[in-house]
């Protein structure tokens, strides 16, 4: 494959919710990290005197300070806690109920709401009307639940990276101004926001293209890696389309604007990302499902207990029993069950180069059926390396060929030139930069060395000038997925270099592991079919889709999702919509900002083996979360019916102190279990 092929023919282009980074309040407002931290500390300070001056589940402890008037102090502090510390939960509950999906926020709100109202009633009844027997208040339970739940959310939010904006990152790809040419041929710089369809632009060498356009005059090599994900520049001629945000090469051209703002290509990609994220955000995590079940269980048990005790006894008995059921359903341990595991899991992941931005994605791992992945930069290095260096003239050694080619390419940043220069450096060659250099776009680089004019050219140059070369040799190297450049001097072909992108060392190990786990690997790439097939065959991928645009990739993600959960691994802007759409989006750490911001998981080291490690960690994390949810919910499943008086016929009612002890033990067990989570290294 030659430079001409590389430039023109080869690059075919056919939130976290409340338990996440920001706590969604349901009305468009967000509880950000700083606000949550402040609410936790203020609530904790207010909780300390409440604990010291109020009974725990009806029992007065030796260290508590109960004195005349202490109930009113507790009531004031509890009211502040209820309205200030509980506000995020009430807003979250409102959103859950509006969606007809009661979950954690609704369960918490029911518990603290009932506890607060009944506790205010208890203070008034005891201290104003002096009723007998004394009515127990639940300020202790209310305050500790609010603090523990705020702590749980803070722990979880503090362990996850701050979510950025993929849309903002996309916007940074565009320049701030554009060179607009008027009817008289004068050039004026205008703000990008003032650019209009139909205007003529001048795009100079090295600049970013400010908008979608069609070239009118001039030629250039344009880097559209943001679209194709490939590092190869594309030859652009008059009549060809260019995309806003792509990088112009060495040429200068004029172009007519065809799309700006919402009509531009990047804007369409932004819409794809946003729509995909919105679609994925509808999923409900396991903790919320468990909390939803407990909400209905507590609601049913509380109402049933109230009716039964009202029938067999009286209101004075029925009301406290019902309240006890609602309060005892407060998910103290459940509130920490998942955050503690997430905190441990995220810390372990970060220590091993895995950054988890959306922990809900981890819950999808057990159900993955397909692993869709980009090629360049994901499975391959994205850097060209010399695979073949051959002298075709007896007067020149292979080393001479490499030294001369490096001299000609010494001032170039072209991917192929970089590969040649890297090979020369590896061999520790002394390279002299060529003089009088000039480029014939799409054909080659020319210059003078040792008083001789040389050129590093493509096969198109040889054909155009009818220079003889070994066609079978060229075909063989091209079939291997190489890009081929020739060294010429006048009418003589002196040598050739064949360069190819290198497959990452652990790429094959990743594919083997995925297959062993029952996950089907699929390659999606913007590269040509021949090169894609070559890479796929070498690492064991059977399903290959090539020549894809971003919308093609995202469409295929949705297609595969019809048959199962999808993991997508990518690194370019062209991968961003797919990363956002997939059930689990995983970005290579060396990729673009847009891809990283669209992903759920980031592989810092860009090592395919890290995918295996993540899948193992995710499964272990899911096991721990399930175990903790059983411990957390188990307390409620046992305590709720006991509090409702299910064993009253045999003379047993749940002792408040026993309930408090079981609740504390459940929380401790949950914490210990979370700390036993470990990550295992990938086997060689």
> Which of the residues are catalytic?
374
Q: 38, 39, 31, 35: which is closest to 15 by C-alpha?
A: 31
| Residues whose CB falls within 8 Å of the CB of residue 634, separated by 6 or more in sequence, listed in order | 666
If DSSP codes are grouped into helix, strand and coil, which group holds residue 497? strand
CA distances from 130 to 64, 79, 123, 125, 453 (A): 22, 21, 9, 6, 108
Question: What phi, psi does 369 have (nearest 5°)?
Answer: -115, -30
If DSSP codes are grouped into helix, strand and coil, which group holds residue 550? helix
C-alpha radius of gyration, the chain, whole number: 33
> End-to-end CA distance of the chain, in Å?
35
Cβ pair 434, 454 in contact under 8 A? yes
Question: What phi, psi does 202 have (nearest 5°)?
Answer: -110, 125
In terms of Cβ atoms closer than 10 Å to its own Cβ (0-12, 13-18, 19+), residue 280 is: buried
Peptide bond into 425 cis (omega under 30): no
Q: Tell me how far apart the alpha carbons of residues 304 and 315 are, in angstroms, rounded to a whole number.
A: 14
3-state secondary structure 324-344: HHHHHCCCHHHHHHHHHHHHH
CA distances from 532 to 39, 129, 343, 481, 551 (A): 53, 83, 39, 8, 19
| Residues whose CB falls within 8 Å of the CB of residue 69, separated by 6 or more in sequence, listed in order | none
In terms of Cβ atoms closer than 10 Å to its own Cβ (0-12, 13-18, 19+), residue 569 is: buried
User: Within 10 A of 568 (CB to CB), how many other CB atoms are there?
Assistant: 32
% helix / strand / coil in the chain, to the nearest 5?
50, 20, 30
Cβ pair 656, 58 in contact under 8 A? yes
């Amino acid at each position: 494959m030659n430079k001409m092929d590389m430039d023109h023919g080869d690059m075919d282009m056919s939130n976290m919710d409340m338990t996440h980074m920001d706590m969604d309040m349901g009305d468009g407002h967000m509880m950000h990290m700083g606000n949550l931290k402040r609410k936790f500390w203020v609530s904790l300070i207010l909780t300390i005197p409440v604990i010291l001056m109020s009974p725990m589940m009806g029992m007065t402890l030796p260290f508590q300070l109960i004195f005349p008037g202490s109930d009113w102090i507790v009531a004031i502090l509890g009211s502040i806690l209820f309205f200030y510390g509980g506000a995020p939960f009430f807003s979250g509950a409102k959103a859950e109920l509006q969606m007809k999906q009661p979950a954690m926020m609704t369960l918490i709100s029911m518990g603290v709401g009932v506890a607060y109202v009944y506790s205010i009633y208890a203070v008034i009844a005891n201290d104003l009307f002096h009723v007998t027997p004394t009515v127990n208040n639940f300020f202790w339970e209310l305050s500790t639940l609010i603090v523990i739940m705020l702590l749980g959310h803070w722990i979880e939010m503090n362990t996850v990276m701050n979510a950025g904006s993929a849309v903002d990152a996309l916007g940074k790809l565009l320049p701030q101004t554009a060179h607009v040419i008027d009817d008289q041929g004068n050039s004026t710089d205008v703000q990008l926001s003032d650019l209009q369809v139909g205007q003529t632009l001048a795009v100079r060498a090295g600049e970013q293209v400010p908008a979608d356009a069609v070239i009118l005059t001039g030629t250039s090599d344009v880097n559209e890696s943001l679209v194709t994900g490939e590092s190869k520049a594309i030859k652009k001629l008059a009549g060809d389309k260019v995309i806003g945000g792509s990088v112009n090469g060495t040429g200068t051209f004029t172009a007519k604007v065809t799309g700006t703002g919402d009509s531009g290509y990047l804007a369409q990609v932004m819409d794809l990302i946003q729509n995909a994220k919105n679609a994925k955000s509808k999923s409900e995590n396991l903790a919320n499902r468990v909390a939803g079940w407990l909400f209905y269980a507590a609601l049913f048990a509380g109402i049933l207990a109230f009716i039964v005790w009202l029938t067999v006894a009286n209101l004075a008995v029925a009301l406290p029993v019902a309240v006890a059921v609602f309060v005892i359903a407060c998910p103290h341990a459940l509130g920490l069950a998942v955050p503690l595991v997430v905190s441990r899991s995220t810390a372990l992941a970060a220590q091993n180069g895995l950054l988890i931005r959306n922990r809900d994605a981890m819950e999808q791992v057990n159900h993955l059926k397909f692993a869709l992945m980009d090629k360049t930069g994901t499975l391959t290095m994205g850097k060209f390396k010399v695979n073949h260096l051959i002298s075709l003239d007896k007067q020149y050694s292979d080393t001479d060929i490499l030294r001369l080619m490096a001299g000609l390419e010494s001032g170039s940043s072209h991917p192929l030139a970089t590969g040649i220069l890297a090979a020369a450096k590896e061999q520790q060659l002394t390279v002299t930069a060529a003089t009088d250099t000039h480029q014939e776009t799409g054909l080659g680089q020319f210059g003078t060395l040792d008083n001789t004019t040389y050129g590093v050219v493509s096969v198109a140059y040889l054909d155009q000038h009818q220079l003889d070369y070994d066609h079978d040799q060229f075909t063989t190297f091209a079939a291997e997925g190489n890009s081929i450049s020739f060294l010429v001097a006048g009418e003589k072909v002196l040598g050739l270099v064949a360069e190819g992108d290198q497959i990452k060392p652990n790429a094959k190990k990743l594919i083997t592991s995925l297959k062993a786990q029952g996950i089907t690997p699929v390659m999606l790439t913007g590269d040509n079919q021949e090169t894609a097939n070559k890479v796929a065959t070498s690492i064991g991928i059977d399903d290959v889709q090539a020549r894809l645009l971003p919308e093609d990739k995202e469409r295929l993600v949705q297609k595969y999702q019809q048959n199962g959960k999808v993991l997508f691994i990518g690194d370019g802007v062209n991968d961003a919509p797919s990363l956002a759409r997939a059930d689990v989006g995983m970005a290579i750490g060396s990729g673009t900002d847009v891809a990283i911001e669209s992903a759920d998981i980031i592989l810092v080291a860009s090592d395919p083996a890290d995918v295996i490690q993540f899948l193992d960690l995710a499964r272990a994390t899911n096991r721990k979360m399930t175990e903790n949810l059983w411990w957390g919910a188990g307390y409620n499943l046992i305590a709720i019916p006991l509090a409702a008086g299910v064993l009253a016929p045999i003379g047993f009612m749940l002792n408040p102190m026993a309930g408090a002890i079981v609740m504390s033990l459940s929380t401790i067990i949950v914490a210990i279990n979370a700390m036993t989570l470990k990550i295992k290294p990938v086997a060689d």
